Amino acid sequence: MNGFLGKNLPKMKNKFSGKIFHILSLIVFSLLLMGFFPRYLFTQTQIQKCTICHGKKDFKVQLDDGSVRNLFVEEKLLKESPHYNNNCTDCHNDIVEITAVGHTKNVKKVQCTRCHFENNPVGAPETQMYKDFQESIHQQEFLKGNPKAPVCQSCHGSHDIKYRKSLSSVELKKKISKMCGQCHLDIYSSYSTSIHGVALFDKNSPDVPACSDCHGEHKIRGHEDPGSSVFSTKIYNTCGNCHASASIVEKYGIKSDKFQTYESSFHGIAMQFGEKTAANCASCHGVHDIKSQNDPTSSIHSNNIVKTCGKCHPDANANYTKGKIHLNPHSEEAGSIYYIGSFFKWLTIITLSFLFIHIMLDLIRKIKLKKAGK
């Protein structure tokens, strides 16, 4: 850089011109530095003012209901988050004045949508998510005034927000499951002992579904909402997202024909005609507690099938267990069922062929006779 500039230097006779160039280039260089690493330059003073109090590890306050709230904010976490460039008051915008005794105690919850909306002027990532969230059961509960209803920061974190890509798929799924489990504790405990949960937590399988894979993320709806991905007439498609895909399930020794065999079964056909009471995947396999058929506690273990079928079919008896459930009559694996089906298929084809020949011969002769008769 200096060499390039230096070429022009001898033309300028002034002694000081060299020095000015050096100073100028230093200023330009510092500006560039500030451009690339602004967090070390601009936000420092403002954050420092807040961290006088909030930087102390034992900075706590007792709330009206007697509980103690920790007000310590680790500066390091904030610096590593995507919001490293923001000031504290960018989000906590209701704090306008800090006096000797601190600021107002009624600090409101941060509104993420202040920046995160479409075409926002401050350059925050543009997203549809806040719109999706409006329809979700979480937002509906929040609007009803349920104090436990989650808002953005309940799941995404507040000061410690991280980029989604900063975690691997498995880590993310584990984190999501635990995140949802903070409120949905019962479900978390049955999920974590299910075949999906065990595969995620013990075997670190990247393919298993975490909560959001079935329920959706921002659009989560109640399971009785017809728009939900886990509504009774929709769940088989949701399970099918993975279980109809050979590339996902077959490496775990699970056949990918389960979706197709369900679809062509009585239950599946009724389901496709919108019969809500027809059995879906979860009716037999369970919901969060899905387990392998080899597990004695599984609803589809051979000892439990009669009981499972009995939920809908009070007449269920041992005959229900004597045969394959996910049956594909067009595959040779179906055994006698396949061969009897094939027998009838060929019988029909051969009968049709004979009839065709018979009718053609008969027709030709009768037409000839008629012509001769005339």
What does the binding site for other proteins look like in residue numbers (CB under 8 A)? Answer: 264, 269-270, 272-275, 313-317, 319-325, 327, 329, 334-337, 340-341, 344-345, 347-348, 351-352, 355-356, 358-359, 361-363, 365-367, 370
Q: What tokens were used for 124?
A: 């925050």
User: Shortest approach of other proteins to residue 277 CB, angstroms?
Assistant: 11
User: What length does the chain have?
Assistant: 374
Nearer to other proteins, 187 or 327 (CB): 327
User: Shortest approach of other proteins to residue 228 CB, angstroms?
Assistant: 23
User: Shortest approach of other proteins to residue 248 CB, angstroms?
Assistant: 24
- Please state, as a whole number, how many other Cβ atoms lie within 10 Å of the Cβ of residue 255: 15
- Measured at the CA of 255, the angle between CA 252 and CA 261, to 5 degrees, comes to 150
Nearer to other proteins, 170 or 325 (CB): 325
User: Shortest approach of other proteins to residue 263 CB, angstroms?
Assistant: 8
User: Shortest approach of other proteins to residue 372 CB, angstroms?
Assistant: 13
User: Shortest approach of other proteins to residue 373 CB, angstroms?
Assistant: 11
User: Shortest approach of other proteins to residue 259 CB, angstroms?
Assistant: 14
Task: Return the percent helix, strand and coil in the chain, to nearest 5.
Answer: 55, 0, 45
Nearer to other proteins, 172 or 316 (CB): 316
Nearer to other proteins, 26 or 312 (CB): 312
366-371 long-range contacts, CB within 8 A, separation 24+: none
User: Shortest approach of other proteins to residue 284 CB, angstroms?
Assistant: 14
Instruction: In whole angstroms, give the CA distance from residue 339 to residue 180.
Output: 49
Nearer to other proteins, 169 or 348 (CB): 348
Nearer to other proteins, 107 or 269 (CB): 269
User: Shortest approach of other proteins to residue 308 CB, angstroms?
Assistant: 14
Q: Torsion angle of alpha carbons 319, 320, 324, 329, nearest 10°?
A: 90
Q: 287 and 280 in contact (C-beta within 8 Å)? A: no
Amino acid letter, 124: A
Nearer to other proteins, 56 or 345 (CB): 345
Contacts of 170 (CB under 8 A, 6+ apart): 200, 204, 205, 206
Nearer to other proteins, 180 or 305 (CB): 305
Q: Return phi, psi of residue 211, to 5°.
A: -50, -50
Instruction: In whole angstroms, give the CA distance from residue 253 to residue 329.
Output: 21
Among left, alpha and beta (phi > 0; psi -120 to 50; other), residue 343 is alpha
Nearer to other proteins, 175 or 301 (CB): 301
Residue 70 forms beta bridges with which residues? 60
Instruction: In whole angstroms, give the CA distance from residue 1 to residue 41.
Output: 25
- Buried/exposed 149-176: b ≥16 CB within 10 Å, e otherwise: bbbbebbeebbebeeeeeeeebebbbeb
Instruction: In whole angstroms, give the CA distance from residue 34 to residue 36.
Output: 5
